[in-house]
Amino acid sequence: MELANLYQSINLIIPEIVLSIALIVLVIADLIFHTNKKIIPFIAGTGILVTAIFVINQFNYIGFAFSTATHTARSFGMLAVDSFGVFFKLIVIVSSFIIVLLSLASDEIQKTTDRIGEYYALIYGMILGMFFMITATDLILIYLSLELLSLSSYVLAGFTKLRDRNSEASLKYLLYGAVSSGLMLFGISLVYGLTGSTNLYIINTLIQNPHINLFTLSFATILIFAGIGYKISSAPFHFWTPDVYEGAPITITAFLSVASKAAGFALLIRFVKTVFVSYETNEGFWSLIEVFDWQSILVVISILTMTLGNFSALWQNNLKRMLAYSSIAHAGYMLLGLVVLSNQGLIAILIYFMIYLLMNLGAFLVVMLIANKINSEEIDDYNGLGFTSPLLSVSLAIFLISLTGLPPTAGFIGKLYLFIALVDAKMIAVAIIALLNSVVSLYYYVRVLKHMYLVKATASTPSIIPSTSNAILLLVLVVPVLIFGVYFQPLVEFAKDCIVILGI
Amino acid sequence: MIGFPILSLITFLPVIGMIIILFLKKEQINNIKYLTLIITAFQVILSVVLLANYNYSAAGVYEEGSFQFIEKFRWIEITGISWLGTVKVDYFLGVDGLSMPMVLLTAIISFIATISSWNINYSAKGYFALFLLLDTGMMGVFVALDFFLFYIFWELMLLPMYFLIGIWGGPRKEYAAIKFFIYTLFGSIFILLVMIGLYFSATETLADGSKVFTFNLLQLMNPSNYNYDGILSPFNPNNLRLIAYIALFAGFAIKIPMFPFHTWLPDAHVEAPTPISVILAGVLLKMGTYGILRISYPIFPDITRDLMWWIAMFGMVNIIYGALVALAQKDFKKLIAYSSVSHMGYVLLGMASLTSVGINGAIFQMFNHGTITAMLFLIVGVIYDRSHTRGLNDFGGLASQMPVYTGFVTVAFFAAIGLPSMSGFISEALVFVGAFGVESIRVLTMLSTLGILLGAGYMLWTLQRIFFGPLNEKWASLTDLEFREYAMFIPLSIIIIFLGIYPSAMLDLMNTSVNTLVQFVNTGFNVSSLSGL
C-alpha cells in the first residue's frame, strides 16, 4: 500500500480516530479523577460533540479507504465513506449524545458512579463498532466491527448489577449473540471459499458468474443475514430483544433500540446493495443479480417481524418490554423500505430513522423519568398519571401516537413514505398488511394512554415534575415530532441527499 | 370577496383557543368555558359571513375557478430527485355547495355542544382543549381540497374523540373509546392507501409546464391528468379502480356508519357524554357521506355508476335495519343512536340515485339529521341529568311534569319522523322522489319507505312511554327546562321549523353544485370517450 493511499485513507477515518482519542482521554481521566467522577460524563459528551463535527465534515470527503488495489483497475477499499454512511453515523452520534444526557438523568446509572468511567468507555466502544459497521465493505471488517459492538453491549446490558434481571439480560444477550455471530462467521467463510474474496464489491462481480454454486451461496448469505438480523432484531432472530431490553439499564435499552439498530440497518442495506444489486434503473429501482429471490425472503422476514412484534406487544404489562416488542415491529416496518429495492424505499428508511430516533428515545426518556420516581415500569402503575404529571404524560402520549403513525405527528410521515415506496413498487398487498399492523399497534400504544388518562388519579398517584434540564431535553424531542408532522420538507430534503451508496 | 383568509380563520380559531386554554390555570373553569363559548360563537358569526358573501351560482365540485373563498399555497415542495420528479403538497382550502351546508352545520353544532358542555367540571381544562381540537379537525375536513390535507384533518379528530369519550364517558367508556378508535383507524388506512394510489396515478401540470404527482382533489377529478400506466388510471386496462373504490367507500362507510360497520356507533353514543354524542351524531357521521360525495363520486364516477345499485341497497339495509333495532331498544340513547343509523340510510339512498333531486335531498338530509339528532341527544341528556336513568320504561306521564320540555321533544320527534312543515320531511321526500325516479333502484326505494313507518313506530311509542300515561310518582320532583337548555333547544327548533317551511334557504345553497356533480358523475371518466385523449 502506497503512502499517499494510506494518507488519504486516514483522512477518511478521522471521525473514528477522534473517537478513539476521546476514548483514551476518557480512560485516563477516569484514572486521574477517581475521587470525583462528575467530570466524566462531560468529557464523554464533549468527545461525542467533537466527533459529530468531524462526521458532518465528512460529507465533503467521499471515497474508499484502505483499498488494496490489486484485483481490478478500479480499486475498492475496506471502507466506503459515502453520504449514506455519514447519515447513519449522524444518527448514531446524535442518539449517543442523547444517551449521555439520559444517563445523567437516570437514577439507575447514577447509583453506579464509581464505575461511570467504564460505562462511558463501553459506550464509546459501541459507537466505534457501529461507525465501522456502517462503512465496512469487507467481510472481515464487518465481522470485527459487529463483535466490537456486541462485546461492548453485552457488558453494558448487565452493567448496573442492581437487579437479577441485569445479569440475566447480559447472559442471554451474550448467548444469542455468540450463536448468531458464529453463524455469520461460518457464512463469511463459505462466501470466501466460494469467491476467494472478502471484499463486497469483488464478491458482487464474482457472483454474477452464472457458474457459481447457487446453493452454497444462498446458504452462506442466509447465515450472514442471521448475524445482521440479530442486530436489527428481525424475526426469527428477535428472541433476545424483549428480555435484554427489559433487563438492561433503560439508557442502554434506548441506545440498543435506536443506534445499534441503525448500524445494523446500515450494514444490511449496504450489504444487499453492494453484493446483490447489479445496476440501478432510471426510475431508481435496484436490479438484483438473479441468483436467488432475496426480495421474497425479505418480504417474508419483514412481515413476520412486524406481525410478531405487534402481536406480542399486545400482551405486555411492562412498558419497557412493550417498547422492546414495538421496536421489533418498527424494524419490520423499516425493512419494508429495503424490500422494495429502490431509492424511494431507501429515502423512506432514512426518513423513518430520523423520526424513530426522536420518538423512541423520547418514549424511553419519559419511561425513565417516571421510573426514577415510582421505581416501576409496569403499565398498571401509570394509572392516573395524566392528571398529576401533565408534562410527562402529554409527551409520552405524543411519542406513542407518533409510534402508531397517526397525523399530525412525525411518525405518520415516516410511515407515509414507506407506504409510498411500497405502492410505487406495486406491492399493494404488503402495504395492506403493514397498515393492518399499525391498526394492531394502536391498541397497545393507546393502552398506556388509557392507564394514564382514563383511570382517575387517586391520592397515592405520584406527581412527577421533571427537573428543568430534563424538561428541556424532553421538549427538544417532543417539539420536532410535532413540527415534522406538519412540515416534513427538511427531513425529505436531507434524506434525499444521503442516499448515495458507493457502488460499482 | 372577503379580504382575509376566512376559511383558515374558521378552521384554526379553535386551535388558537386551545393554546390559550393550555396556558390558563385549571381552576379557572369559568374562563375556560366562556373562552370556548366565545370561540364557537365567533365561528358561527364567521360562517354567517361566509353565507352572506356566498355566490349561489358558482358550482365548484371539480372546477377550481368556481370554488369560493379559496386559499392555496405551496406547503411542501421537494425538488431535485431525478427519478421521482417534484413532490408537492398544497395547502388548499375552498368551499362550494357540497361543503357550505356542512360548514354551517359544524359551526352551529359546535356552538350548541359548547352550551351543552357547561356542566362538565371534571378536568374541564382538558375537556375544552380537546373539544376545540376536535372542532378544528371537523371544520378542516369540510374545507380541505387537497387529499393530504383532508386526511390530516380526518385523522386529527380521532385522538380528541378517543379522550372525550374515554375520560368523560359512562361506565363502559374504555371499551367504547377504543372500539371507536380502532374502527375508524381501520377505515382510514384504506383511505390512506387509495390516496397514495391516486397520487401515483395522476399528474398535475404546473404553471411552468412541468408535470408533478398530485394530491389535489380537483386535479384528480380530471381524467386527462391520469397516466397511462397508473394503477388507478382509467386508461390502464388492468387498473384497480374498482377495488380502490370499494376500499375508499369502506373507509367512509365506517364513519357513516353503514351496516355492517355500524357496531361502534351505539357503544360510542351510549358511553359518550351528551355534548360529544351531539358532535358525533351532528357532525362526525356526516364526514363519511361528505367524503363519498367529495372524493369517491367525482374521482371515480365510472365506478360509482356501476355500483349505484349496491349503494342504494346498503342505504335500504341501513334504513330498515336501523329502524328495526331501534324498535327493540329499552335505552333512550341507544334508540336515538340506532335511529341515526336508519336516518343516515336515507342519505345513502339519495346519493345512490345520482339524480339532482336525490343528491340535493341527501345533502339536505345530512344537514337536517345533524340538527334533529343533535336535538334528540340533547333531549336524552336533559332527562338523564335529572333522573340518572335512560330506561324507556322507567318513565311515564312526564308531559304534565315538564310541559315545555315535552313541547321541544315533540318538535324533535316529529321532525325525525318526517312530519310536513319540519325540515326532515323535505329532505326525506326529496330522497324518495329522486330515488324513485331511477328505474334500477325503484324496488329498493319502495322497500325503504317502510323505514318511515317503522320510524314513526319507535318514535311515537317512545313519546308515549315517556311522556304520556299516568305520571310515575318517582319523578314528581323533576323540574322543567332552565335557561341554558332553552339556549340549546330554541335555535335548533327554529332551524328545523324554518327549513321545513322554507327549504330553499338551504337547497339554493347547494343546488348549483349538486347539478354540476350529478352531471359530472353521470358522464365523467367515460372510458370509451376518453380513449381519444
ipTM: 0.90
Check if A257 contacts B (Cβ < 8 Å).
no
Q: Which three cell numbers stand for residue B125?
A: 381544562
User: Is residue A104 included in any domain, yes or no?
Assistant: no
- Residue ranges of E strands in B3-135: 68-78, 87-95
User: Is residue A471 included in any domain, yes or no?
Assistant: yes
Residue A249 preceded by cis peptide, ω within 30: no
Chain A environment of B272 (Cβ under 8 Å): none
CB atoms within 10 A of CB B19: 11
- A379-405 pLDDT per residue, tens: 888 888 888 888 899 999 999 999 999
Residue owning grid cell 434506548 = A254
- A406-419 pLDDT per residue, tens: 888 999 999 998 99
DSSP annotation string for B182-232: HHHHHHHHHHHHHHHHHHTTBEEE-TTS-EEE--BHHHHT-GGGB-SS-TT
- Are A190 and A203 spatial neighbours (Cβ–Cβ below 8 Å)? no
Q: What is the pLDDT of residue B247?
A: 92
Check if A326 contacts B (Cβ < 8 Å).
no
- A189-235 pLDDT per residue, tens: 999 998 888 888 888 888 887 777 888 888 888 899 888 998 888 88
The backbone region for A316, taken as left when phi is positive above 0, alpha when psi lies in -120 to 50, beta otherwise, is: beta
- Are A192 and A198 spatial neighbours (Cβ–Cβ below 8 Å)? yes
- The domains of chain B are located at 307-524
As a whole-number percent, the residues of chain A with pLDDT over 90 amount to 44
Instruction: List CB contacts of A184: < 8 A, sequence separation 6 or more.
Output: A143, A146, A223, A224, A226, A227, A228
Residue B257 preceded by cis peptide, ω within 30: yes
Residue B260 preceded by cis peptide, ω within 30: yes
Q: Which three cell numbers stand for residue B273?
A: 357524554
> For all residues of chain A together, what is the average pLDDT?
88
Nearest to B289 by CA among B234, B340, B240, B338: B340
Check if A443 contacts B (Cβ < 8 Å).
yes
Q: What is the pLDDT of residue A71?
A: 47
User: Is residue A364 included in any domain, yes or no?
Assistant: yes
Closest residue in B to A424 (Cα) is B200
User: Is residue A55 included in any domain, yes or no?
Assistant: no
User: Is residue A374 included in any domain, yes or no?
Assistant: yes
Mean pLDDT, consecutive 10-residue stretches, chain B (533 aa), reads: 82 92 86 92 92 86 84 80 71 90 93 90 88 93 92 91 89 89 90 89 79 85 82 80 91 89 90 91 92 91 89 92 91 91 92 91 93 92 86 83 89 90 90 90 90 91 86 80 88 92 90 90 72 48
Of the CA atoms within 13 Å of residue B389, those in its CB half-sphere come to: 12
- Are A464 and A389 spatial neighbours (Cβ–Cβ below 8 Å)? yes
Query: Between β-strands B203-205 and B211-213, what pairing exists: parallel, antiparallel or unpaired?
Result: antiparallel
Query: Between β-strands B68-78 and A286-288, what pairing exists: parallel, antiparallel or unpaired?
Result: unpaired
Which run of H or E residues covers position A79?
Answer: strand A79-81
Of the CA atoms within 13 Å of residue B206, those in its CB half-sphere come to: 15
* Interface contact flag, A431 B193, Cβ < 8 Å: yes
Check if B189 contacts A (Cβ < 8 Å).
yes
Q: Which three cell numbers stand for residue B196?
A: 397514495
Between CA B397 and CA A327 the distance in angstroms is 60
* Interface contact flag, A435 B196, Cβ < 8 Å: no
Chain A environment of B177 (Cβ under 8 Å): 450, 454
Total residue count of chain A as it appears in this document:
504
N-to-C CA span, chain B? 37
How far is CA B532 from its chain centroid? 39
* Interface contact flag, A454 B182, Cβ < 8 Å: no
Check residues A477 and A108 and name the one with the higher pLDDT. Answer: A477
Q: What is the pLDDT of residue B24?
A: 87
Q: Is the dihedral of CA B296, B299, B301, B307 positive or negative?
A: negative
N-to-C CA span, chain A? 22
User: Is residue A61 included in any domain, yes or no?
Assistant: no
Rg of chain A in Å (alpha carbons): 22
The structural domain count of chain A equals 1
Instruction: List CB contacts of A466: < 8 A, sequence separation 6 or more.
Output: A369, A391, A392, A474
Question: Would the pLDDT of A95 be above 70?
Answer: yes
User: Is residue A490 included in any domain, yes or no?
Assistant: yes
- A294-351 pLDDT per residue, tens: 888 889 999 999 999 999 999 899 999 999 999 999 999 999 999 988 888 899 999 9
Taking each helix axis as running N to C, give the angle between helix A343-374 and helix A261-276, from 0 to 180 degrees, rounded to the nearest 10.
Answer: 160
Q: What is the pLDDT of residue B358?
A: 92
Distance from CA of A210 to the nearest CA of B (A): 30
Q: Is the dihedral of CA B240, B241, B247, B248 positive or negative?
A: positive
Indicate the pTM of the whole model: 0.93
Q: Which residue pairs from A411-414 have beta carbons closer than 8 angstroms and sit at least 24 positions apart in sequence?
A: A411/A355, A411/A359, A411/A481, A411/A485, A412/A485, A412/B155, A413/A351, A413/A355, A413/A484, A413/A485, A413/A488, A413/A491, A414/A348, A414/A351, A414/A352, A414/A355, A414/A356
Q: What is the domain range of residue A481?
A: 294-504
Chain A environment of B197 (Cβ under 8 Å): 423, 428
Q: What is the pLDDT of residue B171?
A: 85
Q: What is the pLDDT of residue B151?
A: 93
Chain A environment of B152 (Cβ under 8 Å): 407-408, 486
* Interface contact flag, B197 A423, Cβ < 8 Å: yes
Q: What is the pLDDT of residue A254?
A: 93
Q: What is the pLDDT of residue A291?
A: 67
- Are B397 and B478 spatial neighbours (Cβ–Cβ below 8 Å)? no
Q: What is the pLDDT of residue B527?
A: 63
- A223-239 pLDDT per residue, tens: 998 889 988 888 888 88
Q: What is the pLDDT of residue A1?
A: 53
CA distances to A152, A359, B357, B366, B425 from B347, in Å:
64, 42, 12, 7, 13
Q: What is the pLDDT of residue A206?
A: 84
Chain A environment of B80 (Cβ under 8 Å): 496
Which run of H or E residues covers position A286?
Answer: strand A286-288
Q: What is the pLDDT of residue A73?
A: 43
Interface of B with A in 413-452 (CB under 8 A): none
